[in-house]
Structure 1
Amino acid sequence: MNKNMKATILIMSLIISTLLFSTTSSAAKYKVTETDSLYKISTLFKISVSKLKAMNHLTSDEVYPGQTLTVSAKTYTVKAGDTLYKIAKRYGISVNTLRKANNIWNDNLVAGKKLILPGVKPQNTTQTTTKSKTTSTNTSIAKETSLSSNAVISYSKEELDLLARLITAEASGQPYQAMVGVGGVVVNRVQSKEWPSTIKGVINHVSGGYYQFSPVKNGYINHPATDIAIKAAKEALNGSDPSKGATFYFDDSSKNTWLWSKPIFARIGAMVFAK
């Protein structure tokens, strides 16, 4: 083999190695928030707790706010005209998980900003891509009760109607974002281990003899949902959360000192959102 041939092979090897490395590299930096735990972070990025600990050389399950962790996820550089919804839709993830991964709770994006795409990993080969598409299809079939591919939780037609009726009863006359926020609180409870795991279970939940939502007790939940409430319910189910992760809401005229003592995450119209 002549010298020119050897040099060519060496150069090609280096190029291939570089391409492989850039394709399979999926590390991103995530900053821990006050409500985080290793389990929540691993769930958000769809990796195991053990892998997350190994990636960051952690010897315990303890994390602290402000701590920077390496996570397995692709990053995306924001371009002019981008929105969280467009980016989330492009990569097949929910707006809510995109918000959580980047701690963004408004809709202001600056071109050039890098976003972490939770659960999105680079595709190495055609086979991997095909497998990913097959898995996605199987997941959609398994969640046949879900009415939207962008939904952050599975739900049925009856549960969509139930959520819209709750929003109608609780937030009619309030700003649209407050209505979405009410839906967001229900979604946040479904996603939390502290509450039932379905929309129906959360809305009809009775704890210690107390109804969690007064319209269930007084019967207002049985009134038909308005069109705008149905729209708000769908937006919340697709990941929009003006409540900023709240699990409680109440009217600002409430005299309940227990509710007022909770950390307030957002105030929209007369609605107060807390956790």
Structure 2
Amino acid sequence: MKRFQKVVVIAMALLLSLKASTVEAADYTVTSNDSLSSLSKLFNTSVSTLQATNNFKVNSLSKGDVIFVPAHVHKVKSGESLFKIAGKYGIPLSSLKRANYRTGTSIVPGEKLLIPGVSPYRIADAVISYSSSELDLLARLIEAEAAGESLQAKIAVGAVVINRVQSGDWAPTITKVIYQKFDSYYQFTPVKNGMIKNTPSAESKRAARLAIFGSDPSRGAIFYFDQTCKNSWLWAKPQTARIDHMVFAK
């Protein structure tokens, strides 16, 4: 079940708001001692919710799998300890250590820790229906279109696809939007040139998840293009955002 590569644990809203802590869904890398049952208890959710959120039907996990879990992310401040942080959130120290793969108690300021069991994760937070293969496809598009750009730009690229799915004016799924043609032309260049087949980075995968779960730095855009683009038709569109070298429009 290695559908996801190992990535650094990080919360979606933390990336967007840059606050010290936030309540959101986060990535958790499965260890050899984990099971769906034990993780559902650790993160105060249900097995069925974990399965549905991560779009898999099997009842077992493999070491190294990365799954979405309900979590609060805390940024360690000077003078804090694991004991103090556990007390602040009212959770057992053992749970805090387990959620962060700790055997000892050493932490450093600026470090980000998963706080398990703080806020139940809701399936409804995903703004559209999607499959694990579509999550991967969206990540590959993001990688092809925005490699080298910031996370915000990557999320915005993914959000354009999500906005099209939701609009009712385009194809109704991620896959169909990405492969959609008008007048025999693909809407997304990476589909035509084959770059859609390239393996996405961990950040592009993270951006795809963030977009699917409602993050939209593009501010409702349904088009994006590079600032060096010479297409006057695109430049004539009402712009919603400019992020790094990318322009987003409706």
TM-score range, shorter-chain basis?
0.5 to 0.7
Per-residue displacement from partner, 1:93-140 (whole Å, max 9, x unpaired)? Answer: xxxxxxxxxxxxx9599xxxxxxxxxxxxxxxxxxxxxxxxxxx9xx7
SS of 1:174's equivalent in the other structure is coil
Partner of 1:176: 151
- Does the 8 Å CA contact 1:151/1:239 hold for their aligned counterparts? yes
Partner of 2:249: 274
SS of 1:273's equivalent in the other structure is strand
Give 1:85 deviation, angstroms.
5.3
Partner of 1:251: 226
In the aligned structure 2, how far is the partner of 1:270 from the partner of 1:108? 21
* AA in 2 matched with 1:261: A
Over the matched positions of the two proteins, sequence identity in percent amounts to 52
Q: What TM-score do you get using the length of structure 2 for normalisation? A: 0.53
Partner of 2:140: 165
In the aligned structure 2, how far is the partner of 1:193 from the partner of 1:179? 23
In the aligned structure 1, how far is the partner of 2:217 from the partner of 2:151? 10
Give 1:256 deviation, angstroms.
0.1
In the aligned structure 1, how far is the partner of 2:163 from the partner of 2:245? 20
Out of 210, 213, 223, the position equivalent to 1:235 is 210
In the aligned structure 2, how far is the partner of 1:186 from the partner of 1:216? 14
In the aligned structure 1, how far is the partner of 2:178 from the partner of 2:155? 15
Give 1:183 deviation, angstroms.
0.4
In the aligned structure 2, how far is the partner of 1:164 from the partner of 1:208? 26
In the aligned structure 1, how far is the partner of 2:175 from the partner of 2:163? 13
In the aligned structure 1, how far is the partner of 2:54 from the partner of 2:142? 21
Unmatched segments (≥5 aa) in structure 2: 1-11, 20-45, 57-67, 69-122
Unmatched segments (≥5 aa) in structure 1: 1-83, 87-105, 110-136
Alignment of 1:13-52 (within 5 A): none
- Does the 8 Å CA contact 1:167/1:183 hold for their aligned counterparts? yes
Give 1:209 deviation, angstroms.
1.0
- Does the 8 Å CA contact 1:179/1:232 hold for their aligned counterparts? yes
Q: What TM-score do you get using the length of structure 1 for normalisation? A: 0.48
User: 1:154 and 2:114 equivalent?
Assistant: no
* AA in 1 matched with 2:150: P
Give 1:215 deviation, angstroms.
0.2
Partner of 2:178: 203
Alignment of 1:62-211 (within 5 A): 146=55, 149=123, 150-211=125-186
SS of 2:191's equivalent in the other structure is helix
**Which is greater in Rg?**
1
Out of 212, 227, 237, the position equivalent to 1:262 is 237
Per-residue displacement from partner, 1:66-95 (whole Å, max 9, x unpaired)? Answer: xxxxxxxxxxxxxxxxxx959xxxxxxxxx
Give 1:172 deviation, angstroms.
0.3
Give 1:238 deviation, angstroms.
0.7
Partner of 1:51: none
Out of 219, 225, 230, the position equivalent to 2:194 is 219
In the aligned structure 2, how far is the partner of 1:231 from the partner of 1:145? 13
* AA in 1 matched with 2:171: P
Task: Detail structure 1 runs of 4+ shifted over 3 Å in the superposition.
Answer: 106-109, 143-148
